[in-house]
Structure 1
Amino acid sequence: MTQAKNSSPGMATTALGQAGPLVSRMGLGTMTFGAETDEEGSFRQLDLFVDQGGTFLDTADVYGGGASEKIIGKWGRRRGGMGDLILATKGRFAPPPGSHGASRRAIVRSVDASLTRLQVEAIDVYFIHGWDRHTDVAESLATLDDLVSAGKIHNIAWSNVCGWQIQKIVSTARAQGYPVPVAVQPQYNLLDRGIELEVLPCCLEAGLSLTPWSPLGGGWLTGKYTAEARPTGATRLGEDPNRGVEAYDLRNTSRTHAVLDALRSIASRHGRPPAHVALAWLGSRPGVASILLGARTEEQLADNLAARDLVLEVSELETLTKVSSPGLPAYPYGFLEDWSQVDVWKTLGTQSVSR
């Protein structure tokens, strides 16, 4: 993946996919806007992000019940337009005036509603927010193709999909002459590396980029949660310890704390907080184009943006990769990995390896 320096100092850029736009290596995720962060606080985050050289803004029609898109639209109008910024949003789960699903009707209604809230003529990258098992993916792709032709969106992408779904999307698009996605947006961090089994290999094979969400594991990789005390107070897990895949009891494991110990050790060598090390590791992973930073406050965002110049030693990357490894399921992954380490024909002699 070719990288180039942004015209603004301190932020590199990378192309999304094989034919997508250049985006900053750190993106601004805006799920907090209109929910955990008020309008003025959101404006301050947007101003800070752009001042630091950021170019990639990511939102969705369901964030804050549409408030996130409205805030971004109002901010964009106040500054005289989006300029060179790359704006991404998502549709799949919104109530009217959007529409639930990835059917033609749903996508068209959702795109039009997002364009109105964002106050733009076109969306740079439009993500389908998840798989719709009730709609043939060819219908979704045909609709997106029509919207690209109409100038309402420029690039397509998908979020929260598994490996076979990515392959189905890509193969259908190529077979029928529809636009191929430029990116996939999954959860990816040191505590959740599940995408490495199928999603990441599929993306690399197809030339799709990753724009990971939850790069700090819902706050776990900042080191602020401990094994001894359930979180309380004004943090995401403090307010909701059972928060989805980031839930305290789900992640309060020996593996998590081994990862945190390694983060602290490496961080101390660099004079950095653990979060910077976690972000640097993620930025080094294959296929990762832009890491989505989500913050409640301007101060949190500024701290995370400061990680952009940290480069870890190869040995440090290897340590983090090893300690965070979730291991392979015995079959078929462990089985295939074992076979890849030996000369199967030599081991089996003249026997056939077919089963």
Structure 2
Amino acid sequence: MALSISSFLVVLAALALSPLCFAFPYGGPFLYPQFYDHSCPKAQEIVKSIVAKAVAKEARMAASLLRLHFHDCFVKGCDASILLDSSGTIVSEKGSIPNRNSVRGFEVIDEIKSALEKECPHTVSCADVLALAARDSTVLAGGPYWDVPLGRRDSLGASIQGSNNNIPAPNNTFQTILTKFKLKGLDLVDLVALSGSHTIGLSRCTSFRQRLYNQTGKGFPDFTLDPAYAAHLRTRCPRSGGDQNLFPLDFVSPTKFDNSYFRNLMAKTGLLSSDEILFTNNPATMHLVELYAAHNELFFQHFARSMVKMGNITPLTGNKGEIRMNCRKLNHQ
């Protein structure tokens, strides 16, 4: 007897828990959690301490540091290219459309790198700092822990073109977003699980205004958006002005890493179009949303696995790239 679509999707979700690779469970022979155990044994402790201090000062910073790692990995791989300032022939990714109003936390990364350089000079890469800070931020917000594979090296350049084109946007269609994930070796489960990072953090009015007003400007909201929620959003996100007004991506528990984001999607109170379409545009992603909404632990397991997988997007290893002493510039500058 053939499997029903529901049964098939349950199997799909279960498969997402399988090891990434039998020979190299962390995705490759060059990245592994113990990479700095001898060369800089206090590295992870230093990162965790400074991230904890930053998040205690501002809860939003947890989401910001998590986003930095995501935006880095989707451009040229997980190589800290996002941290480079414009200089010489380098045009910084910080000025790209997806980044200029949404990425932050660079000062926290600077503080971590400065402390690491004092403890073990020219040893820990900025790319690994981003990966560790993303994990520690997730845990501090109440999310899952995972062992971070380490050993990445830092890029010798940036790509503002890649930053403009490769990072999924709030107004992208479902197929466009899925294609951007697939181009990075990520699948449907990774798409839904990683989108769950929007359980924390804030977004600007300009990122979702199109859902509140139709082209004639008469105020008819997106049919996938709950009318009462839309009315509430319009009070601080008018047809014009207020572009930078901030709204929680998960209004139920905006600073807690949990599965309420998925319950919001089912109630048509997902803030971004790119979030809500996971529940309205595809039966496979809809089923995953339902699974995660019902099973927080399953979401946590899938999220942790997908973060490891994302962290393995074309890293620089061996003699490639360099270990930057200052994350904002190349060593020879």
Provide the TM-score with structure 1 as the length reference: 0.26
Structure number, greater radius of gyration: 1
- Structure with larger RCO (C-alpha < 8 A, sep 6+): 2
User: Greater share of strand residues, 1 or 2?
Assistant: 1
Provide the TM-score with structure 2 as the length reference: 0.27
